[in-house]
Every structure is written in C-alpha cells, then in structure tokens.
Amino acid sequence: MKIGVLFSCQHAMLAHALRALVPGSHVPHYDLADCRTPEAQQEVLRHLEGSDILITAGAPEEFGPLHDPVLAGRVKALHQFPSLSFGGFHPDTVHIPLPDGHTLHGPTGQYHSRLALGAYLSGFSPGEAELLFNRRVFSRLGYLGAFALESALMTRLYADYGIELTEALERWRARGVFMHSVNHPLNFVMVDMAVLVARRLGLMQPGGWADWLVVEDNLRLHPRHPVLPPLARELGVEGETGFHIGGPRVAENSLSLGQFLAAEYAAFQARPHEVLRGAEGLDAVMTLLA
C-alpha cells in the first residue's frame, strides 16, 4: 500500500510511524513548505500520484497540482488532517508576519516573544522588559490558563476530522512537556497521532497504542522557547530559563532571558513599528503595558 504524506514540518515523524504501523506500506513524505515553486510541486506530484491514501495538511490553490481538489484526482483517496499546533506550554511565543509573506527571524528563528515585542513597542528598555516575565503579568495576559484553553480548542478541532483526542492528550500530559514549541511536538506525540490517523482511515483496529514504537525526533534541534518558571509551576512541570537558538542542546546554544531580549530588540529595531504591530495577540500586551 502506498500512503503519501504531504504535511507540515511534522511529516517525517508521521510518515515513519505510519510505515511501522502498516506493514508493507510505502510512505513517501514531503513538507508543504518545500513545495512553493512549480518545479518542486511537479517533483513531489511525481512521487505522490497513484497513492492509495494521501494524507495532507491542506494545500491552498497557490500550490498548483498539489492543491487538494487537483491532487484528489491523482490519488485513490485524499484525507485532510490538521498539523498539530499547541500553545499551552508557550503562550508567549508568536510569529511576526512581514509584508513579503515571510516571517521575521530573530535569535530563535521565527519564534518571538509577544511580551518582548509589546515592551519594545511601548518604549521599555530590555532591562525593563525582563522584569515583566513574572507570574502577575503572565496571569493578567491569560498565560496561566492557556493550557486548558489550548487543550479544549485542539480537542474540538480534531473532533471535526473524526479524531477523538482526549485520551491521547491525557497520555501526553502525564509525560510532562510534550511540545518543543507551538508547532513542534515531541516524537511520542507524533507516534500517537499516527495511531489515531491510522485508526480513522481503517488501517488499524480501534483501541490500543503503539508504545513499542519510537521514531527519530527530527524537530528536537530546532530553536525553541522555554517553559518559563511562572507557567511551569502552574502546570507542575519542569521549568527552564534558556532560549535555545538551535543545534545540540548545549550551553553555548542557549540564551538567558536577558541575552534573548537584547537579541530580540536588535531584530525589532530593523523593522518599522507598523510591520511589528501585525503580530497576533499583541493588543492585549499593549493594553496591559499602556
């Protein structure tokens, strides 16, 4: 059986797990982010067409032959499932969109601090901004309740696709922090997601998990923000203070909060304020700091 996967940055872990769960399957897999040129789209189509099942996170019209309605005519069955996103451990993390369609890069790649951005736009110095990272401010911004809210939203989202996430979410929560960042889950999360998708598509029998299966966590070396102590204490998980810039988890690849804020401010200063104000959820921070 050929199971094509056209997904987010989570494609590799999902595909490797599906290959192990469905004996004899062939699972070519691709990241939609790498399919923006016509040449890339045709190359990926060449490998995915004829799939017995095509799993996609949803490709809009600008992806040409990979756009869902078009691709559906080149495979036997197309099924869309959302890429996993969960901000319960990192409610302060935000992307800053740029006018050219890209996102602003800073010390931790595309991940920025909403609180740092609001402080910068409000005229706070980096030192003053550092003092804002406390339980009182987190509470006022709703960060301490983000885990419950994000859990409910994610559960409802997957229910719309025929996937019951409640038991899986409880399993992940029992293991502590299960996200590297808002869109980078740990490997055991993606194994469970592969099980849920396989069940939904009739490739596995209902019930049971695949705790025997371990796939390589290819997202572990990407930049990430810590679960900061005020939120960590609220959730009963281990907190951190280091902002990981990417690469091996060693001290030289970690920034303290003060170092991170200084680097964030440097990235912000290179852009007009009106561009920076496009970050999602910024209004609440600006109102609090006014």
Whether 207 is in a domain gets the answer no
- Please check whether residues 124 and 33 belong to one and the same domain: no
- Contact criterion met (CB below 8 Å) for 52 and 77: yes
Residue 195 falls inside a structural domain: no
Do 15 and 112 fall within a single domain?
Answer: no
- Other CB atoms within 10 Å distance of the CB of residue 114: 22
Does residue 14 sit in the same domain as residue 59?
Answer: yes
Judge whether 183 lies within some domain: no
pLDDT at 20: 98
Kindly report the number of other CB atoms within 10 A of residue 240's CB atom.
16
What confidence score (pLDDT) does residue 137 get?
98
* The model's pTM: 0.95
Tokens of 113: 């601090």
Residue 176 within a domain: no
Q: Are 16 and 136 in the same domain?
A: no
Residue 90 · residue 227 · CB < 8 Å: yes
Q: Concatenate the DSSP letters of all residues of 153-190 into one string.
A: HHHHHHHTTT---HHHHHHHHHTS--EEETTEE-HHHH
Beta bridge partners of 7: 31
Angle at CA 170, nearest 5°, toward 167 and 175?
135
Tell me: do 141 and 54 sit in the same domain. Answer: no
Instruction: Please check whether residues 36 and 107 belong to one and the same domain.
Output: no
- What's the CATH number where 52 sits? 3.40.50
Of 33, 59, 83, the position where a domain reaches its end is 83
Residues 6+ apart with CB under 8 A from 148: 88
Residue range(s) defining the domain that contains residue 75: 1-83
Shared domain check, 117 and 31: no
State whether 127 and 225 are in the same domain: yes
Domain count for the chain, please give it: 2
Distance separating the N- and C-terminal Cα atoms of the chain? 59
**Does the residue 29 lie in any domain?**
yes
Q: Which residues contact 96 (CB under 8 A, 6 or more apart)?
A: 103, 104, 112, 117, 271, 275, 276, 278, 279
- 258, part of any domain: yes
Task: For tokens 């010390």, name the residue.
Answer: 107
pLDDT of residue 133: 97
Residue 201 falls inside a structural domain: no
Q: Which of 191, 215, 225 is nearest to 84 (CA)?
A: 191
Q: 67 lies in a domain? A: yes
- Report, as ranges of residue numbers, the positions in the chain whose pLDDT lies below 70: none
Q: Please tell me whether residues 237 and 128 are part of one structural domain.
A: yes
Using a 10 angstrom Cβ sphere, with 0-12 exposed, 13-18 middle and 19 or more buried, the burial of residue 269 is exposed
